[in-house]
Amino acid sequence: MTNRDSFFCFARVLLIGFILLACCAAIAPAQTGTRQLSIEWIFGPEGRAVASVPATAWLDDGTLVILDNGRPAREQTLERFNPVTGQRQSLVDSPRALASLKSVAGVDAEVLPWPLALDGSGKRALYIFKGDVFVLEFVNAQFRRLTSTPAEETSATFSPNGRRVAYVRNNDLYFFDLDTNREGRITRDGSETLLNGTLSWVYWEEVFGRRDIAYWWAPDSQAIAYLQSDESQVDLAYFTDITPFSPRVIRQRYARAGRANPRVRLGIAELDREGTTWIQITDKPFEYIVRAKWLPDGRRLSLETMPRLQTELYLYFADRKTGAATRILTETDPGWVNMADDLYFFNDGQHFLWPSERDGYMHLYRYRINGTLVNQVTKGPWALASAGGIAFWVRQALYTKKSESATSSTSASSSLNESRAT
């Protein structure tokens, strides 16, 4: 038997094992007389719920919003979980919200869906139904329609203060002010090949983890940094969709190996005036902009770039007013630089954490804000696996510390860092 045959034999045995395991889990309720095993049950909501994991999102105060989709439909609702006390409480009157959803959006749902986004205070949820944007107010369980346009809106998020919503329509970026009930337009040059605030296929698939958000709110909610992608030189490709009974042909800009990628640039738009301040990088040519993140004070924007060979990664800080960028550090690897989402800025404004595989394993390093290395934070013959980003365990450490005493978050950050320093 060849290695290839052995592999496929093992794969078949593994698949059969999974099927038997699923059948055993499905048969258990049948033995009690409640449900018979069937294909419809296995691939229906109850069968899928056997191995489902609750949807979750962190709020600014360190509590967690949960939608437990393993429960029966009539019992599912958005809940707020306190990780310190272990208490859970309902966030919204689900039956009333579902009635409002049917009335306002014409959507008849049995379960309140998991939202696209939640505001940081846990007062509102954001949805898109039938191509339009809606906000659910938890206090009165009422849906509010923000858009009603022939074109579809996509990529919607809340501003940090929860009082504005950004979204993309026809490859242009817009925002809606919830206080004034008015829409504002940020870009006006979107087209089939010029994308503002939304991602080309190659960036969606290969760079940003299949999340179509190509803009970043400033901490003060008064500005948005956004990625603009020019796909005009990218090859056209045609694919046959196998899903419908009558196949359709998908026409897509598809970056082929060795051919042109989308040309990208990063700009900052202030919401109270027209125009964009484009980030100016003059010291190092780049092919990709792979990350962007605001510094906590909102005066500067961090961005990471790469050449096409991907053996170097450059971290810049760009001035919000002028767009001038300063290179802070350069990460190199003779093979390729493995990106991570663990750039984390401390609240003291003087330090940040940076992930690197420079010692052969993915670990964290603490830097001063000017790019001077302070120390390696984690170390050992193991790689850091970031579940939800480094902000997850920093947030939890800060929240626990805050619950125990009045110690400031900066002190908690320093204590956490020092305890892990080598």
pLDDT digits (tens, 9 = 90+) for 367-405: 999 999 999 999 999 998 854 455 444 544 444 444 554
pLDDT in tens, 95-137: 999 999 999 999 999 999 999 999 999 999 999 999 999 999 9
% the chain with pLDDT above 70: 83
Q: Are residues 94 and 135 in the same domain?
A: yes
Q: Are residues 134 and 86 in the same domain?
A: yes
Helix (H) or strand (E) holding 47: helix 45-49
Distance linking the first and last C-alpha atoms of the chain: 50
- Residue 391 lies inside a defined structural domain of this protein: no
- Residue 76 lies inside a defined structural domain of this protein: yes
Q: Are residues 59 and 124 in the same domain?
A: yes
For residue 324, what is the DSSP state? B
**Full residue range of the structural domain in which residue 99 is found:** 53-145
Query: Residue 411 above 60 pLDDT?
Result: no
Q: Are residues 40 and 91 in the same domain?
A: no
Q: Are residues 75 and 131 in the same domain?
A: yes
Number of domains comprising the chain? 2
pLDDT, residue 44, reads 81
Which of 97, 114, 145 is the C-terminal boundary of a domain? Answer: 145
Q: Using pLDDT thresholds of 50, 70 and 90, give the confidence band for residue 72.
A: confident
- Residue 114 lies inside a defined structural domain of this protein: yes
Q: What is the rounded distance in angstroms from the CA atom of residue 357 to the CA atom of residue 301?
A: 24
- Count of beta carbons in the 10 Å neighbourhood of residue 127: 21
Q: Are residues 84 and 129 in the same domain?
A: yes
Q: Which residues contact 41 (CB under 8 A, 6 or more apart)?
A: 26, 35, 47
Query: Residue 26 above 70 pLDDT?
Result: no
Q: What is the rounded distance in angstroms from the CA atom of residue 398 to the CA atom of residue 407?
A: 9
Query: Residue 43 above 90 pLDDT?
Result: no
| Residue whose C-alpha is closest to residue 77's, from 60, 96, 63, 61 | 96
Q: What is the rounded distance in angstroms from the CA atom of residue 366 to the CA atom of residue 293?
A: 17
Q: Using pLDDT thresholds of 50, 70 and 90, give the confidence band for residue 142.
A: very high
Q: Are residues 91 and 140 in the same domain?
A: yes
Question: What amino acid occupies position 49?
Answer: A
Written as one string, the DSSP assignment of 79-134 is EEE-TTT--EEESS-HHHHHHHHHHHH----SSPPPPSEE-TTSSEEEEEETTEEE
Q: Are residues 93 and 29 in the same domain?
A: no
Query: Residue 271 above 80 pLDDT?
Result: yes
- Residue 85 lies inside a defined structural domain of this protein: yes
Q: Determine phi and psi for 156, rounding to 5 degrees.
A: -85, 140
Q: Are residues 126 and 79 in the same domain?
A: yes
β 64-67/55-58 pair status: antiparallel
Instruction: Name residue, tokens 């978050």.
Output: 409
∠ CA 282-286-290, rounded to 5°:
115
- Residue 96 lies inside a defined structural domain of this protein: yes
pLDDT, residue 341, reads 86
Q: What is the rounded distance in angstroms from the CA atom of residue 175 to the CA atom of residue 254?
A: 29
Q: Are residues 62 and 44 in the same domain?
A: no
Under the phi-then-psi rule, with left for phi > 0, alpha for psi from -120 to 50, and beta for the rest, what region is 162?
left
- Residue 258 lies inside a defined structural domain of this protein: no
Q: What is the rounded distance in angstroms from the CA atom of residue 2 to the CA atom of residue 10?
A: 12
- Residue 137 lies inside a defined structural domain of this protein: yes
Which of 95, 114, 145 is the C-terminal boundary of a domain? Answer: 145
β 288-294/277-278 pair status: unpaired
- Residue 140 lies inside a defined structural domain of this protein: yes
Q: What is the rounded distance in angstroms from the CA atom of residue 225 to the CA atom of residue 279?
A: 10
Q: What is the pTM of this model?
A: 0.82
Which of 115, 145, 175 is the C-terminal boundary of a domain? Answer: 145
Q: Are residues 45 and 96 in the same domain?
A: no
C-alpha separations of 371 from 331, 391, 421 in Å: 12, 20, 18
